[in-house]
Structure 1
Amino acid sequence: MRRSDPLRLAAGLLRPRLPRVLAAIALGVLSLGSALALAGVSAWLITRAWQMPPVLDLSVAVVAVRTFAISRGVLHYCERLASHDTALRAAGEARVQIYRRLAHGPATTAAALHSGELVARVGADVDELAEVLVRAIVPIGVAAVLALAATATVAAISVPAGIVLATCLLVAGIAAPWLAGRAAAAQEEAARQHHSDRDISAMLALEHAPELRVAGALPGVIAESRLRQHAWSDALDAAARPAAIAEAMPTAAIGASVLGAVVAGIALAPAVAPTTLAVLMLLPLSAFEAITPLPAAAVQLVRSRISARRLLELTAPQGTVKTSTRHLTRPSGTGRLTAEVVSGHAGAVSHRVTLDLEPGSRLAVTGASGSGKTTLLMTLAGLVPALAGRVLLDGTGLGQFDDDELHRTVSFFAEDAHVFATTVRDNLLVARGDCGDDELTAALGAVGLGPWLASLPEGLSTVLTGGAQAVSAGQRRRLLLARAVLSPARVVLLDEPTEHLDASDAEQILLDLLGPTRGLMPPHKTIVVATHHLPNGIRCDRLQIG
C-alpha cells in the first residue's frame, strides 16, 4: 500500500487494535482450517469405509468428522464476533477523532458542507471505512494462511498437484480480485462522470417542461436526457465486464485444480493407497473456500479507499489540527460587532457590506433567495472568510480568537441545521449543555411548541425517531429556534427562522425577535435575522442584499 494511499492515511482515524485483528484472523483460519480438515478426513473415511475394515478402525475418523463439523460453525461465529467487535470499536474511535478534529480545526471545513453531506460522511463513510477490517483485511489474512496450508498439504502428497493448486489459487486470489477492484473503480469513475449529468438533464426536463415546451426546446432536452442515460448505461456495462470475468475465474480455477489433482492421482495410483488419492482429489475443493471472498474484498478496498478520501478531505491531518495557545476564557468586551467586508463566493455574486452593531441591536437582512444572505451571516460568524475586509468583535479580528470561545459568543443558526435521532432534550442541549428541564420546557413554550411537547408520550425524553422525519417542517423550524433561544451567545445570527411557518405565526416570531418588545431574546443580545420578507409592522434596522 503506497504511503499516499488514503486507506493508509486514514488508519489514524480507525486505530484498530492489532491483537484484536490478529485474533479475528486466527479464528477465521481455525474455522476454515476445520473445513479443510473436515474435507480431508471425510475423504479418508469414505474411502476407508468402502474397504470394509473393522468398525473400531473408523471410530477416530468418525469423531474427528463430527468435531471438525461442529468446530467449523462455532469458530466461524467467534470469528464474526471478533471481527465485528473490532470494526465497531474502530468506527467509534474514528467518529471520536473526526468530531475532535472538526471541533478544534478550522470552522470553514464543516461550514462549507451541507449538513446532510456532513452527516453522510461521519455516518456512512465511517461505516464504509470500518468495513475494510471485516470484509477485506480479515479475509485476506485468512486466505493467505489457508492457501499456504492447503498447498503444502497437497504438495506433500503430490508435488505436481501442489504446483497446479498453487497456480490456481494465485489466479483466483490475485488476478480475480484485481479485476474486481478494477471494475469497482471503473464503476465509481462512471458514476462520477455521468451520474450528475444524467440527473441534471432529467430534472431540467421535469422541472421546466412548460417553459421548454413554449420555447420549443423540450424535445431537444428530452433527447439530451436520453443520450445521457444511454451513456450512463454504456459506462456501467463496460465497467461490469471485468467484474463478470472476476466472478468466473474462481470457479474455473477450482475446476482446473481438481482436474490437476485427478491427473496427478492417476499417475500416483499404483504407488499410494486409495485413501490418499481421495484426500488429494477432495482437498482442492475446500482450499478455495477461503479464496472466494477475495474479489469482494478487493471491491471493499476500493469503496473504503473512496470513503477514506472523503473523510480526509473533511478532517485536517492530526499534525495540522489547530491548537490554540491563547488563554482567553471567552472574548472579552461588550460584544460590539463591526464589519466592513465584501461578502460572497469567488466567481459568484458579492456584496460590500458595512455594519456597526452595538450590543442589543436588532438587524434584519432581507433579499431574494441566492442573494447572499446566508453567506453574509456565516462571514459575520467567522465560519467563512470574507472576499475582502474583515469582521471585528470589540475591535479585535475574529481570527484572533480561539474558535471554541468565539462561537460561544457569536453563534450562527442555519435553516438546515440537523435534528438528531435522539431525545427532544438532547436536541436542545446541543445549544447549551447545562440547561435544566424547566428551562428547556420554557424555551419550547416560547417558540410555540408547548402544546406539542405536552402531547409527546415521554415529554422531553421522547426520542425523535428518524430525526427531522419525526417532526413537521414547521415544528423543525421552531425546534431550531428554541436552540437559539437557549444559546449563551451574545450575538445570535439566525438564517430564515420563520421558513415553513404560516404568515401570522412567522410575523409574530419576527416581532418577538426584532420588535420593540423583544420577547424571545434578552435585550442585551444582538440579533441578526436573514429573511425573504419582513412585515411592515416591524421597526428595526434593515439591510437589503441584492
Structure 2
Amino acid sequence: MSASDPLLAAVPLLRPRLPRLLLGVALGALSLGSALALAGLSAWLITRAWQMPPVLDLSIAVVGVRTFAISRGVLHYCERLVTHDTAMRAAGTARAQIYSRLAHGRAEDATRLHSGELVARVGSDVDQLADVLVRAVLPFGVAAVLAAAATVAVGVISPAAAALLAICLLVAGIVAPWLAAKAATAQEAVARQHHSARDVAAMLALEHAPELRVAGRLQSVIVDLQRRQEAWSDAADAAARPAALATAIPTAAIGASVLGAVVAAIGLAGSAAPTTLAILMLLPLSAFEATTPLAAAAVQLTRSRIAARHLLDLTPVASPVSAPAALHRTAATATLRAHELSVAHSGTRVPNLKLRPGSRLAVTGPSGSGKTTLLMTLAGLLTPAGGEVTLDGAPLRLIDEPELRRAVSFFAEDAHVFATSIRDNLLVARGDCPDSELAVVLEQVGLSAWLTGLPDGLDTVLAAGAGALSAGQRRRLLLARAIIAPARIVLLDEPTEHLDVVDAEPILRRLLDPHGGLIAAERTVVVATHHLPDDSPSPELRISAGAYPVGQSSNAARLESES
C-alpha cells in the first residue's frame, strides 16, 4: 500500500492494539502450525504402524497426534477471542473519533449528507474498516508465517519439492488475491453506491412515514427501497464472483505441489525411509490451509479501502484556521449580516440583510423554495454558493466552530429526540438549566398539562424517543430546547408545524414579538414558516427558489435599509 492509501490514512481512526494483533497472528500461526504438525505426525504414524513395530514405539506419536488435534481447536478459539476483541475495540474507537470530529469539526461535514448516508458511513463503513484487522491483516500474517515454516520443513527432505511448494504458495497467496481484489474494486464501488441509496430511501421512509402516507407516496418510497435493495444485492453478488474464481487457484496450486511432492518422493524412494516419504507427500496439503482465505481477504481489503475513503471524506482532518482575536467577541454583540447571498442547492438568492441584536424576521415561501437551506446557510452549516455571511463583520468560515455555535444556533424541524428523560432531552441545549426554568419553559410552549400527567415528571423516560410523542408534542419540546439555548441568534425551522392554527398562531406571534415573552428581547430570532399570522409584528421575507424575494412587507424593507 502506498503512503496515500486511504487504509493507511484511516489507521489513526482505529488505533489498533499492535501487541494484541501480533498475539492474534501468533495464535493463528500456532493453530495452523498444529495442523501442519498433525499432518506430518499422522503421516509418520500411519506409515510406521504399517511396519508393525512394538506398540510402545507408537505411544509418543499417538499422544502427539491427540495433542496437536486438540491444540489446533484451542489455539484457534483463543485467536478468535483476541482478534475479535481487538477489532471491536478498534471499531468503537473509530466511532468515538468520528463523532468527536463531527461534533468539533465543520458543521457542513455532517449537514451536507442525508441522515441515511450518515448512518451507512458511521455504521457499516466503520464495521468494514475494522474487519480489515480480522479478515485481511490476520490471514495474510498467518499465511506468511505458515508458508515459510512449511517450505523449510519440506526443504529439509527435498529442496526441489520445497522450491515447487514455494512457487505454488506464492501463486495461491499473492496472484490469486491480487486478481480477486483487482476485479472486485469496480464492482464494490457500484455495490457501495446502491447500498448508500438504499439506506437513504430507508431513512426517508422511517422518518417521514406519516407525511408520505398522507401524500400517498409512502408505497412508492417502499417500492423504491425494495428496488434499491435488489440492485444492491445484484451488485454485491457481482462483486463476489471474482473472489469465487480466485478461490479455484489455490486448489490448482495444491494439486501441482502434491504432484511435485509425489514425483520427488519417487526419486527419493531408494534413499529415504517410507515414513519420510509419507511426510513429504502429506505436508503440502496442510501448507495451503492458510492461503485458502486470502482471496476473500483481498476482497475485504478492497471493501475496507472504500470504507476508509468514505470515512475520511466524512471527517477530513483540516488544518486549523488561525482567526484574529477579535473574532472571539462575537457573542457579545452578535450582529448577523448577509451580503448578496446565493444559497446552495435551492438556488435562492437574498439581497443585503442585516440582523441586529433583538431583530425578528419571518422567512416565508412555498415548500422547496429554500427556507431551511437559507437558515442553515445563515447558521454557517452550509457554504454559500455566492456572497458572504458575516457575524460582527467576521466571515462565518473564519470563526471557530465552538464560538460560532455559541453565537448562532439552528433548530431543525426534524431534530432528534433521544430515548432518555425529558430533562436530558432539554439539557442538550443548555446543560446547566435548572429544573425550575425547564418547567417554566414547558409551560410557555403548552406542555405543562402533559408534564403534570406524566408519572415521573421531568424524569419520565421517552423510551421510544420521538415515537413516544405526538407530532405536536415533539414540536413543542423542540421549541423548548430553542428557548433555553444560550445562543444570541436563534434560527427556527417550522417551529409550529403539525400544530393546529388555533395553537400555532399565538406561538408564532410571541416568537416574532420581542416582547412576546418566549425568547428574550435582546436575542435575534429568525423563523421559517409556511403560514404567518396576518397581524404578525415582525418583518417578513418571502422567497422563491432561484430568485430574489418575491415580496416583502414594509418592515422587511426597513430591515434592509439598516444594512
TM-score bracket, normalised by the shorter chain, equals: 0.7 to 0.9
* Contact 1:104–1:322 under 8 Å retained in 2: no
* Contact 1:31–1:75 under 8 Å retained in 2: yes
Question: In structure 1, what is the equivalent of residue 341 of structure 2?
Answer: 342
Distance apart, 1:455 and its partner CA: 5.2
User: Which structure 2 residues correspond to residues 97-112 of structure 1 after superposition, within 5 A?
Assistant: 97-112=97-112
Distance apart, 1:535 and its partner CA: 4.0
| Residues in 2 aligned to 1:421 and 1:8: alpha-carbon distance in whole angstroms | 37
Question: In structure 2, what is the equivalent of residue 259 of structure 1?
Answer: 259
Deviations 1:230-254 (A, max 9, x none): 9999987876653331122223323
Question: In structure 2, what is the equivalent of residue 432 of structure 1?
Answer: 430
* Contact 2:107–2:381 under 8 Å retained in 1: yes
| Residues in 1 aligned to 2:53 and 2:438: alpha-carbon distance in whole angstroms | 82
| Distance verdict in 2 for CA 1:338–1:267, change over 3 Å | same
Question: In structure 2, what is the equivalent of residue 86 of structure 1?
Answer: 86
Q: Which moved more, 1:372-381 or 1:107-116?
A: 107-116
Question: In structure 2, what is the equivalent of residue 381 of structure 1?
Answer: 379
| Distance verdict in 2 for CA 1:285–1:409, change over 3 Å | same
Amino acid at match of 2:289: E
Q: Which of the residues 538, 542, 545 maps onto 2:543? A: 545
Question: In structure 2, what is the equivalent of residue 528 of structure 1?
Answer: 526
* Contact 1:453–1:459 under 8 Å retained in 2: no
Distance apart, 1:441 and its partner CA: 5.9
Indicate the SS of the match to 1:91: helix
Distance apart, 1:91 and its partner CA: 2.8
Q: Which structure 2 segments of 5+ residues have no match?
A: 201-211, 213-227, 545-563
Deviations 1:38-58 (A, max 9, x none): 222233233333333333322
Does the alignment pair 1:484 with 2:482?
A: yes
Deviations 1:23-45 (A, max 9, x none): 22112212221222222223323
Distance apart, 1:298 and its partner CA: 0.8
Question: In structure 2, what is the equivalent of residue 216 of structure 1?
Answer: none
Indicate the SS of the match to 1:10: helix
User: Which structure 2 residues correspond to residues 309-388 of structure 1 after superposition, within 5 A?
Assistant: 309-317=309-317, 320-322=319-321, 326=325, 331-345=330-344, 349-388=347-386
* Contact 1:43–1:282 under 8 Å retained in 2: yes
Question: In structure 2, what is the equivalent of residue 14 of structure 1?
Answer: 14
Indicate the SS of the match to 2:131: helix
Distance apart, 1:195 and its partner CA: 8.7
| Residues in 1 aligned to 2:84 and 2:411: alpha-carbon distance in whole angstroms | 38
Question: In structure 2, what is the equivalent of residue 74 of structure 1?
Answer: 74
User: Which structure 2 residues correspond to residues 142-291 of structure 1 after superposition, within 5 A?
Assistant: 142-191=142-191, 241-291=241-291
| Residues in 2 aligned to 1:232 and 1:373: alpha-carbon distance in whole angstroms | 34
Amino acid at match of 2:82: A
* Contact 2:358–2:514 under 8 Å retained in 1: no
Q: Which moved more, 1:287-296 or 1:479-488?
A: 479-488
Indicate the SS of the match to 1:341: strand
| Distance verdict in 2 for CA 1:504–1:260, change over 3 Å | farther
* Contact 2:188–2:236 under 8 Å retained in 1: no
Q: Which moved more, 1:324-333 or 1:182-191?
A: 324-333
| Distance verdict in 2 for CA 1:97–1:458, change over 3 Å | same
| Residues in 1 aligned to 2:6 and 2:56: alpha-carbon distance in whole angstroms | 59
| Residues in 2 aligned to 1:151 and 1:10: alpha-carbon distance in whole angstroms | 35
Q: Which structure 1 segments of 5+ residues have no match?
A: 201-206, 208-227
Amino acid at match of 1:526: T
Q: Which moved more, 1:405-414 or 1:353-362?
A: 353-362
TM-score (norm 2): 0.80
| Residues in 1 aligned to 2:16 and 2:72: alpha-carbon distance in whole angstroms | 26
Question: In structure 2, what is the equivalent of residue 514 of structure 1?
Answer: 512
Does the alignment pair 1:497 with 2:495?
A: yes
Indicate the SS of the match to 2:271: coil
Distance apart, 1:412 and its partner CA: 1.0
Question: In structure 2, what is the equivalent of residue 133 of structure 1?
Answer: 133
Q: Which moved more, 1:400-409 or 1:441-450?
A: 441-450
| Distance verdict in 2 for CA 1:311–1:236, change over 3 Å | closer
* Contact 1:105–1:321 under 8 Å retained in 2: no
Does the alignment pair 1:95 with 2:90?
A: no
Amino acid at match of 2:332: G
Q: Which moved more, 1:104-113 or 1:244-253?
A: 104-113
Amino acid at match of 2:482: A
| Distance verdict in 2 for CA 1:10–1:70, change over 3 Å | same
| Distance verdict in 2 for CA 1:430–1:87, change over 3 Å | farther
| Distance verdict in 2 for CA 1:365–1:246, change over 3 Å | same
Distance apart, 1:8 and its partner CA: 1.9
User: Which structure 2 residues correspond to residues 450-465 of structure 1 after superposition, within 5 A?
Assistant: 451=450, 460=459, 462=461, 464=463
Amino acid at match of 1:253: A
* Contact 2:451–2:457 under 8 Å retained in 1: no
Question: In structure 2, what is the equivalent of residue 411 of structure 1?
Answer: 409
RMSD, aligned α-carbons: 3.9
Distance apart, 1:357 and its partner CA: 2.8
| Residues in 2 aligned to 1:498 and 1:78: alpha-carbon distance in whole angstroms | 58
Question: In structure 1, what is the equivalent of residue 40 of structure 2?
Answer: 40
Distance apart, 1:342 and its partner CA: 1.8
Distance apart, 1:159 and its partner CA: 2.6
* Contact 2:511–2:519 under 8 Å retained in 1: yes
Indicate the SS of the match to 1:340: strand
Question: How many residues get paired?
Answer: 522
| Distance verdict in 2 for CA 1:37–1:500, change over 3 Å | farther
Distance apart, 1:418 and its partner CA: 4.0
Deviations 1:156-209 (A, max 9, x none): 222333233222222221122122212321213444788999999xxxxxx9xx
* Contact 2:45–2:58 under 8 Å retained in 1: yes
| Residues in 2 aligned to 1:364 and 1:256: alpha-carbon distance in whole angstroms | 79
Indicate the SS of the match to 1:331: helix
* Contact 1:424–1:464 under 8 Å retained in 2: no
Indicate the SS of the match to 1:492: strand
| Residues in 1 aligned to 2:241 and 2:461: alpha-carbon distance in whole angstroms | 51
| Residues in 2 aligned to 1:483 and 1:254: alpha-carbon distance in whole angstroms | 67
Indicate the SS of the match to 2:519: coil
Distance apart, 1:148 and its partner CA: 1.1
Amino acid at match of 1:381: A
| Residues in 2 aligned to 1:236 and 1:116: alpha-carbon distance in whole angstroms | 19
